[in-house]
Every structure is written in structure tokens, then in C-alpha cells.
Structure 1
Amino acid sequence: MTAARLTQLTDLTGPATRPAYDPQAHGAGIVHLGIGAFHRAHQAAMTDDALAAEGGDWRIIGVSLRSKEIAENLNAQNGLYTLIERGASGTSARVIAAIDHVIAADAEATLAALCEPAIRIVTLTVTEKGYGIDHASRLPDQTNPVIAADLAAPDTPQGVLGLLVAAIRRRRADGSVPLTFLSCDNLPENGAFLRDGVVGFARALQDDALADWIAATIAFPSSMVDRITPASTDATLAEARHQTGCTDLAAIETEPFTQWVIEDHFPSGRPNWEAGGALFAADVTPYERMKLTMLNGSHSMLAYAGFLSGRSFVRDVMTDPDLSALVKRHLGAAAGLLSPLPGVDFDDYAAALADRFANPAIAHETFQIATDGTQKLTQRIFQPALSAMEAGQDLRPFAFATAMWMRFCIGHLDDGTEYALRDPRADEVMAMIRQTEQTAPALSEGFHKLAHLIPDALAGNPLWRGHIEDVLSVALADGCHAAIRQEALRTMQQ
């Protein structure tokens, strides 16, 4: 018998925890762009905690910039959804009521929501490519078709920067409270990155007065976020049905661990996110670097090496002695690049990460993590490698990760099984590979010549290149298992 759809809190009959507040008694004060699973497992859950602890009009209007499915699922449930936490000690669930409603791929409605006087904060999880900001200059990428179209028609924007600048301009003219923009994407100094993009967009519109006003008035605090959130499966929906007694097509699952470090700069107010465990700091940068270098860097390495060796999930990687040893080596190498951080023991943090990766209850796909390598690896692998080179530390762990990424980009497993290269520069990368001799030196040269990717100082370092070619040559000639085995043996002998 099919369970009735989750639409209101009185529908609940299972053991899932109910919200400790009446959602209808609270208005919306936040617009969130990019309402995927991570936001719902992280910021929305902490907002739910804040509402329960202190109330306030801080519910969330979600925006799905492309997909209509998540909006349809959440709106049919009046914003309610089940958040399932799976850990080694068991499974628990709670129903989240922080989302007021979701706008589905509708730029006009999104702009109207951003201009609502009651809205005071805009949070974002749109990924680096979603901003349309050039990483090197931190200015709008005017070769991006969305950016170009929004600059040509700024009153009817479709993209993120265009929408934000249009909302700022309208709210300024109306005398509304200035918005605070909080990026929650995995980017270093994500607040400054977004601020430079927004100010740059206003200048590109030849509106220096608006650009100067934004720079002087609008807050762009940085934040660091962390919570492993795999894609939902049929098992997720079945667990939600057990936990709630209802059919919940918006259910998601995550790990028990969650972390949010936020620069405390909210001139127009904010929820009591501390109730959900958020940490407010004057400077988020050291926490960002710790996460990008240790967690995200090792995550990328294990994703490429794991997927290429037949490990579908992160937890499977950690059951393989060779791969597990390489993950721990990478964590140690990354920790060695960090300056001391008060209250943080990097060895303890590395051990906790290894335990989280090994969580048998979380099915986090290596192929999912392996997406968008050309966007992710600059901060996760190449910049740490550059720091290691400058400090005279071992380049090998970062070179191994890079070699595995290069092998992944070839687009097939050792047995010939093909897979899609999901990357914003996939066409460019695949064209280079097709035109290149399939040897380690030639492929390495081709990858190092890709514009705006691997830093020149690394590309010109013979030790770095030698490490990459050593790993890649074994992977090409003898297979990825052999390359991983060789690397693990090398680690054990050190």
C-alpha cells in the first residue's frame, strides 16, 4: 500500500523528530540560490535549529536555477522534507520545516523574491562555475554567454551575478534594507570572491556609482561548510517512508557530522545559527584552507583512484588497504602545509576525516566527487602542491592525485568501459587527449599546456613532472590497480 504524501506535520506517524516550532508562525527572511541536497542537509537544517531556538522570520525561499523537479517535490510537500542521518551507530531522521517554498527555474520570480523587503540574507550554493566569475581575475567572465546576455539586458537577468546586481539596484532605489550575501560554496575567500564578481558586474554595466555603493554598503561574509551529502536513492526514500509514515520525494540523507564557520558580518541581522552548531569567527580563511587542503584534496584523490580501480563509493575506498594508506598519506601531506590553528589538532582532524570516509552507512559515489576536476583541482591539489614545492616538502602525494585525474580524463576504465567526463572543460580536455600520443610524457605535456589550470611554476618543475609521468606510465601500461599498488608500496617503504 502506498503511503500518503508528506504535506503537513500532522501527517507524520513514524519516529522522525518533528520541528520544535510552528513553521506557519514565521515568515521568510532568506533567499537561497541552488537548493540542492547539500543546502538542505546543511544550511536549511541549521536554520531549522535557529527557528526552534529563537524564532524569527528566517524561513527560506529556495531557488532551483535549472531543475524543476526539486521545486515540484518540495512545493507539493509545503517545503517539508526528511533529513536522514546515517552513522556507524545507527540511523535517525528529522523533518525540516525551514523552507517556505521553492522557485523553479524562473528568473523573473527569483528577482521578485530577492526584492521582497522582508528578505535580508541571500545564501548561495551554485558551485564555482555557477557564478560566472573568472577565477584568476575575480571579475565577471564576459566570454560566459549568461554573463554576456545579462550585461546586454540587465533588467531581465538570468544568471547569478545579473540577478544579484539587479536586486541590489532595485532595493537601493526602493529604500529597502541592504541584503547580506553569504556564499556557501567550496571556494577560498568565497565572500570576497562573490563581492569582487558583483562589484565587477556593476562596473561592467558602466555604473560606477552603484559599484562604489555596493563596495561600501553590502556585506559579503565568507564561510566554510562541511557535510558529506550523497545523492538520494530508492533506499533514501524507503527510509523516509519508515521514519515518517509518509511518501517523501524530497528526502535526503547525510552523515552525522556537520560544520559551518561563518565570518560574523551581518548588518541587517541573521538567524541564531549557533543553535545548530555554527561557529562565528573574525577570519574564516584558515578554516577554509584546512578543509580545502585536507578534506577536499584527499576526497578528489580518492575519487579518481577509487573510481578507476572499481570502487563505487568512498566507503569502499577505505576498505582497500592500499587506497586507505594513500588517503592517509595525502591527509598527512596536506596537514604539513598548514599553519597552527587555535583549538584544532590536525592529526585528530585527519583521523576524523578518515573515519568519516569509512562510514559504512554513507553511499557517497566516487564518480559524483570526480566531476568538474578542472574547476576543483586548482584549490584542492595544485595550490597545495605549489605550497609544498616552495616549502621543500614532498610533491609525490599531490602528483599522484594529479596523475589519477589525468588518467580519469581519458574516459574509460582499464577494461574499456567508457564513462562521461562531466567537466565544464570536457570538450577541450577530450580534444587534447584525442590529438595526443597516448604516452605518459605526451599526455602530461598536453595537460600542463591547458590554459589557466596547472600553475606554470609546477609545470616547469622536473620533479613534479617526473612523479606524474612515473604514476601515469604504470597506469597506462599495467593498469590503475598496478599504479595504486606501486604507490602504496612506495608509501610503506618510506
Structure 2
Amino acid sequence: MTPRLSLATWRSAAGRPGVTLPAVDPADLRTGIVHLGLGAFHRAHQAVLTEDAATATGDARWGILGVTQRSARVAEQLAPQDGLYGVLTKGATETSLRVVGTMRGVAFPGTDTDRVLATVAAPTTHVVTLTVTEKGYRRAPGGGPDLTDPDLAADLAALTSGADAPARSPIGLLVRGLARRQRADAGPLTVVCCDNLSDNGAVLAALVDAVLAATPSSDALRTWVAQSVRFPSTMVDRIVPATAPAHRAEAAALLGLVDEGLVVGEPFSQWVIEDAFAGPRPAWESAGALLTADVAPYERAKLRILNASHSTLAYLGALRGYATIAQAVADPDLEAAVRALVNDDVLPTLAAPEGMDLERYRDDVLDRFANPNTGHTTVQVAMDGSQKLPQRLLGTVRDRLAAGAVPVAAAGTIAGWIGYVRAAALGELVVDGRAVPLDDPMASVLAEAARGPQDGLAERMLGVAPVFGNLAGSAELVGAVRSALTEQVRA
């Protein structure tokens, strides 16, 4: 029987071709970071760069306590492995595996809330990071916290009463951790949002402040957060597809060990971080991260070029039955649609960040999408469109309309999303031989708007204000979306 990856077994993989092991003994690392949202992306991105920083500097203070979000599954995978896991990097022609040892503990809030709160409050903890997806922030349509959300409400009730109840929401867990840290007088803290939200640090800071403003007897905590906690903005980029059984088998052959916590990533990785910290931090710049005074230009370029292109390929590709993004971008019609989106609508709205060639970035993005070994699925990228479109596409649409231009290509992406939603709502979306349901926090609202007659579909969908705001009032945009939907039906 093949042994499992763990602190007791990882050295047995030394010298195996294509395998890299931790240069710093994981057992020597101390916990200095708490991460909320222990999904595949964090394990393939921030955790890797954190380990690389420890390797470059020899600073052993930055082990991570990883906290799962909705279920205990990842914690159950990693706990028997002492937090160790592999990252299988799949290029177009080359594959490699590295074992990451920076995860020094794993926790599930359903059973380990007190452990998480105590670690956030520990004076040796200096950073909290988050990857909880756009919908994990429990925001109301206006952008503030959704105080009617039952999970967030339960956490705020626990904050007010001091009850020792399991945390049920990421923001609630964070705020309760901040309260514990304030009471412990453990010093300042930096909270780093790594999700695809525009100006994500400021967004998170505003959410925390609004939650505290709405919570009785939290004035002192609110003042302490304003004085002692920093929320730098970031931009993150690495394609991390779902781990498939074939990936696990490939990794086991390379490693000679079973790894239930395996994640998969492309060779490319980027992290831009606002240099605004409240205290000590890992030397992430020594691992290739860019520390800058202003993340916004990098973030805007990534959201509008990469993420909008990703969503375009996902919706239009799924409607054509393509299972993966690589298959979709290989379709000349869909590649042309993405190039039109970027060239005609996105690039006119962007100022190139220092050292960044936007046209080359566009081409690099398309090359990355064409890598068949990432296996990033159209359905995976397409989910939660009501949360993603405002971040990825609608800023471009508004900027083009404000400039007096009709964003025809962007309207094609909106039409692709509408077509995807309608097909899924009607049970007519089939991808790779499998019926695909509508996976979105607003699924019921979207389905009701989409199920009506084809005539008026553009108006009904653009009229979903939590997604599109006042864009339904643009006759030019409505007309462009209507025309794109007509062409979509004909195709």
C-alpha cells in the first residue's frame, strides 16, 4: 500500500525526477498567518509564495493556519498529511510537482472556531489573508454587508453576546477574531483580501466598518480597527483548475506517496500587493511578488482583460458544448470574440501600469488559456456570474458608454451570459454530454427573468438591478445586447 504524504514520509521523495521538496523544514515553521478560505487557489498561490519567501530569507515566522469556509473537506484531506500537499504544475509540454510545507495547521469553523479566534488574537500572528470568492463576502446589492444574511447575523449575535458559537461566515469570523485580538491587546494586524474584487482592500475595510457600525456596543472595537488594522489591496493571478483523479494518479507516480490535498496550477503566477502593512510581513517580494503604492492599474488590467476574457470564453464556450476553456479558445469564432472585446472595448479604458505591455498581456492571456493541461472548465468559470460580471465587465461597459461609444463586443459577452443563464434555467444547457444547472447566488431571480419569451429577454435581464444597476436605461446597450442575442440564436 502506498504511504500517504506527511511529515513522517515527505523526505522519501527526495531525488525523485520532477519533484521539489520544501527547502525549509516544515516542522521548523511557526504560525504567523491565518488564511480564511482554504481552497485550491490559496494553496497554489499565496501559500507557495509565502514558502518561497521563507526559503529566500530563512524567516521561519510565517507558517499558515488554513481555515476552510463551507465544509470540513479540505481540512479532513490535509490534517492526516500534517498540512503538507503537492502543487502539480501543468505547462503545455512539461509537468512538475512541488511539495508545500507552509500550511502548519488546518481548521474548520464548524468545530474549530475558538482555535481560529485564538490564533488571530495571538501576538505572533501578524497577517490574515482571505480567498473566500466574491459571494463569500455576503454583500447586499448596494455593496454593504447583507445584515439579513442568516449566517452573518448569527456571527454578529455571537460577537455581541460573547457566545462561544461556531462561526458561520467569513466576515463574521474575521470580525470576531479582531474583537478577540483587541481584548488580548495583541497589537496591530494586516488583513489581506486576495479575491477578485475591485479595490478589494478598501471594499473589505468598508464591510468590516459597516458591520461594526451596525453591531451594538462595538464602538471601541470599531475605533481600534480604524487605528490598528490595515487592509492593503492586492491583485492575484494563477489559473488553478479543479483537481481530477488523473491529476492525483500522475502526482502519486511522481511523488511515490498518496496526496489527498493535491492542487493543480499553470506555470504562470502573479501577485501585486499594496505596500501598506500594519506590522511585520513575509518578504513576498523576494518570492516574485510586486509591492507597490497603487495596485489599481494592475488590478483593473487583470479584471478587464484576463477575467472578462475568461468569462466570455466560459459562457460562449459552454453554449457551444465545450467542456474546457482550452477547447473554447481554440474555436476561431470565440477567440475573435475575445480579441474584439479586449481591442475594441477594454484597451480604450485602461492606462498601462508601469512595466506592463497591455497588448502583450492580452496575447499571453490567450496563450495561457490555450494550455490544454490546465483543464479549466467552462462551467467552473461560468458559475456565480451575477457576482463576477459587475467586477469583470460592467466597469468597461460604463466607461465606454460614458465616452460616447457603444460597447458592441462587451454586449456580446453580456448576451453570452444571458444565453447561458436562460439555457441553464430551462434545462437546455448540455456541456460535454452533461446537463448543467444554474449555479449562482441569484439563481431564482435570474431564472425567473430568463424563462420568459425570447422577445424582451435583453430588457428583462438587463433590468435585474443588483447585477446591472442603471444600465437598462442605456438604449444603446440594450439594442446591442438584443442584436447579440439574435445572432446567438441564429448561430
TM range (shorter): over 0.9
Amino acid at match of 1:284: V
Distance in structure 2 (CA, Å) of the matches to 1:104 and 1:63: 6
Displacement, 1:431?
2.4
Displacement, 1:388?
1.0
Q: 1:402 to 1:129 in 2, by over 3 A?
A: same
Distance in structure 2 (CA, Å) of the matches to 1:23 and 1:308: 46
Percent of residue pairs identical = 41
**2:156 is equivalent to residue 151 of structure 1:** yes
Q: 2:50 aligns with which of 24, 47, 52?
A: 47
Q: 1:316 to 1:102 in 2, by over 3 A?
A: same
Distance in structure 2 (CA, Å) of the matches to 1:393 and 1:340: 21
Aligned runs of 1:451-462 on 2, under 5 Å? 451-456=465-470, 458-462=471-475
8 Å CA contact 2:126–2:189 kept in 1: the answer is yes
The more displaced of 224-233 and 380-389 is 380-389
Partner of 1:194: 204
Q: 1:77 to 1:162 in 2, by over 3 A?
A: same
3-state SS in 1 of match to 2:32? strand
Distance in structure 1 (CA, Å) of the matches to 2:392 and 2:184: 42
Displacement, 1:309?
0.2
8 Å CA contact 1:151–1:204 kept in 2: the answer is no
Amino acid at match of 1:90: E
**2:381 is equivalent to residue 375 of structure 1:** no
Distance in structure 1 (CA, Å) of the matches to 2:428 and 2:239: 26
Partner of 2:294: 283
Distance in structure 2 (CA, Å) of the matches to 1:336 and 1:33: 36
Distance in structure 1 (CA, Å) of the matches to 2:231 and 2:397: 29
Displacement, 1:288?
0.8
Amino acid at match of 2:342: L
Distance in structure 2 (CA, Å) of the matches to 1:414 and 1:408: 7
3-state SS in 2 of match to 1:280? strand
Partner of 1:35: 38
Amino acid at match of 2:439: R
Distance in structure 2 (CA, Å) of the matches to 1:149 and 1:79: 30
Aligned runs of 1:365-444 on 2, under 5 Å? 365-410=377-422, 411=424, 412-413=427-428, 418-434=435-451, 436=452, 438-439=453-454, 441-444=455-458
**2:64 is equivalent to residue 60 of structure 1:** yes
Partner of 2:124: 118
3-state SS in 2 of match to 1:173? helix
Structure 2 residue runs of 5 or longer lacking an equivalent are none
**2:284 is equivalent to residue 273 of structure 1:** yes
Structure 1 residue runs of 5 or longer lacking an equivalent are 483-494
8 Å CA contact 2:182–2:221 kept in 1: the answer is no
8 Å CA contact 2:30–2:61 kept in 1: the answer is yes
TM-score if structure 2 supplies the norm length? Answer: 0.92
Partner of 2:250: 239
Displacement, 1:191?
0.6
Distance in structure 1 (CA, Å) of the matches to 2:323 and 2:280: 43
Deviation track 1:382-437 (CA, whole Å, cap 9, x = no partner) reads 12111111123341111000011011111144779742111000011112333x2x
Displacement, 1:135?
5.6
8 Å CA contact 1:125–1:184 kept in 2: the answer is yes
The more displaced of 339-348 and 410-419 is 410-419
8 Å CA contact 2:116–2:177 kept in 1: the answer is no
8 Å CA contact 1:303–1:370 kept in 2: the answer is yes
Displacement, 1:12?
1.6
Amino acid at match of 1:79: G
8 Å CA contact 1:308–1:413 kept in 2: the answer is no
3-state SS in 2 of match to 1:453? helix
Root-mean-square deviation (CA), in Å?
A: 1.7
Distance in structure 1 (CA, Å) of the matches to 2:34 and 2:303: 26
**2:188 is equivalent to residue 178 of structure 1:** yes
3-state SS in 2 of match to 1:82? strand
Distance in structure 2 (CA, Å) of the matches to 1:135 and 1:208: 26
The more displaced of 202-211 and 376-385 is 202-211
Aligned runs of 1:287-306 on 2, under 5 Å? 287-306=298-317
Partner of 1:488: none
Deviation track 1:272-309 (CA, whole Å, cap 9, x = no partner) reads 11222100000111111111111111111110000110
Amino acid at match of 2:87: L
Distance in structure 1 (CA, Å) of the matches to 2:193 and 2:246: 31
Partner of 1:212: 223
Partner of 1:5: 4
Q: 1:327 to 1:419 in 2, by over 3 A?
A: same
Distance in structure 1 (CA, Å) of the matches to 2:99 and 2:441: 35
8 Å CA contact 2:230–2:276 kept in 1: the answer is yes
The more displaced of 213-222 and 413-422 is 413-422
Partner of 1:81: 85
Amino acid at match of 1:229: V
TM-score if structure 1 supplies the norm length? Answer: 0.92
| Aligned residue pair count | 472
**2:347 is equivalent to residue 327 of structure 1:** no
Displacement, 1:336?
2.0
Distance in structure 2 (CA, Å) of the matches to 1:253 and 1:186: 19
8 Å CA contact 2:406–2:477 kept in 1: the answer is no
3-state SS in 2 of match to 1:29? strand
